[in-house]
Each structure stands twice: as C-alpha cells, then as structure tokens.
Homo-oligomer: A and B are copies of this chain.
Amino acid sequence: MQVKGAAVAEEGVGKKHGFCAACAAFEYNLCAAVSDKAPSNREQRNGGARLVSSVHTIPARRIIRHPKEWSEFVPIICRGWAAVSLAALDGRRQILSFLLPGDCVSTAYAWHSISGYTVEAITDVTYRNFKRDDFKSIILKYPDLFELFSKVWTEEKTQADQLALDLGRRTADERIARLILNLADRLAKRDMMQGRTMEFPLRQRHIADAMGLTPVHVSKVLGEFQRADLVEIKGRSLTIIDTAGLRRAADWH
C-alpha cells in the first residue's frame, strides 16, 4: 500500500487529522513529549516524497514482533494497546513500555534492524509498517521533522531511565501508582480519557511484568488501592477517584 502526502484517511490517528500517518504519529508523540502545539499542516511538504507502508490488524494476545525477527519495517501503532518486552534466557519477562496509538515501537527501528524485543498486542491492534529506508530518508530530508523525531527519541530515553529508577528504587505501591498516573497522562494527551476514567485493558500480569512484580502481588496492591478509594477498576476501565491520594502514593512530582 502506498501512502502519499495527505492521501490517507485512516482509523485512529490518521483519521483524526487527515494527513500522513507517520507525521500524525510523531505529532502525537511530540505533544506527549514536549508541548501542546496543535498539529500543523504538513501535507505539501511530504507531497513529493513517497512513504510506502502497509496496515495490519492483529487480535489481542498475538505477537507483532518476534524477538528473533530482523525486520526492515518501522511499526507505528494506529489503534489499540501493545507491549514491548525483553526476556531473559529462562523466560523471565520485563515489559519496557506500553504502546498507545501514535507510538513507534522504538525510534531505534528507524536506523537499524533491531532484534531481541517482543512486541505483543494487548487489545486488538492495528499498526502501520513503514519501510525503514523510506522512513529514514523522509526524516533526514525535512529538518523540522527530524527535530520532531529527535524529541521523540529523547522522550523515549527519558522514559526508559525513569523506568530504571522505578524498578531499582521504588516500592511496589509506588510503581503501580506511577504506572496508572503515567498512563492517564499519556491517554489524556491523546484525548482518550473520559474525565477521570480510562479504558484499561491491562491484565495484572502485564502490570506485574512491567513493574518487576508478581501478578499475585499486583492483585494485592490493586486491592488495597481500591479499598482505600484511590481508584476504581471495573470491567476493563479504571477511574481515578482520589488524584491527590494516588499522587501521594506514587511519590509524584
């Protein structure tokens, strides 16, 4: 499938703004990373360049990227939630990040064939594969697109570093509270919050794998949080009831 300039009207990200999906993705990420600047008009700029990409839809629990795969595509999430993880030899898993619509699995994919990471759909996911070389040259061609990209890149690193701080130095309660607040923030930037309520498709084993804990323990902590009226989890959605309390529990800035 070929995408040229403003030619794509697509579900989720693409649809919303009605221009090139890759740019939309980065605009999203830029918002998340840096400011609230409204997406600008980028159509004519990419008018000349051709960004080859293909859309895929995959059901929940399915693998999007296998750790042994050396792909030459840059995947960007259009709809749904996914998880990027790393595994030790004996199978212990660590989830490095949850991907939301507009997220790139990793900006590193833009430069090199990467392997070792597992990307897994949490909900049904639709994503878009960009050919690395095209992606790369588009980014390098337009300086402010590159600027955007480098911000996303930096933001990605910041997140990774914060994760290390969480895993190394915070208690289970703090970690889980932070995860919730973090997700709430990211969803808010995407207009995916209904007030204080968010869609929350994560299973407790996802939370456990992301925060270096056991599902059993996650259950206990989440139970406490609910009994303390910090949050309410019902069905597959989560409502933050006591923001201040949750922040306190999270040792939030």
Contact = CB atoms under 8 A, between A and B. Distances in A.
Given A160-B164, A211-B168, A154 B111 contact: yes
Interface string A62-105: 00000000000000000000000011111011101000000000
Contact of A164 (B108, B114, B156, B164): B164
A170 interface: yes
A106 to B, nearest CB: 7
A165 interface: yes
B86 A164 contact: yes
Contacts of A96: 161, 164
Given A108-B157, A112-B151, A157-B157, A90 B251 contact: yes
Contacts of A154: 108, 111-112, 114
Instruction: Identify the interface centre among A86, A147, A163, A164: most chain B CB within 10 Å of its CB.
Output: A164
Contact of A212 (B92, B153, B169): B169
A161 to B, nearest CB: 5
A150 interface: yes
A158 B107 CA distance: 12
Q: How large, as a class, is the contact surface on chain A?
A: 35 or more
A253 interface: yes
A162 interface: yes
A138 interface: no
A167 interface: yes
3 closest A-B pairs (Cβ-Cβ)?
Answer: A168-B212, A167-B167, A160-B160
Interface of A: 86-90, 92-94, 96, 106, 108, 111-112, 114, 117, 147, 150-151, 153-154, 156-158, 160-165, 167-170, 211-212, 251, 253
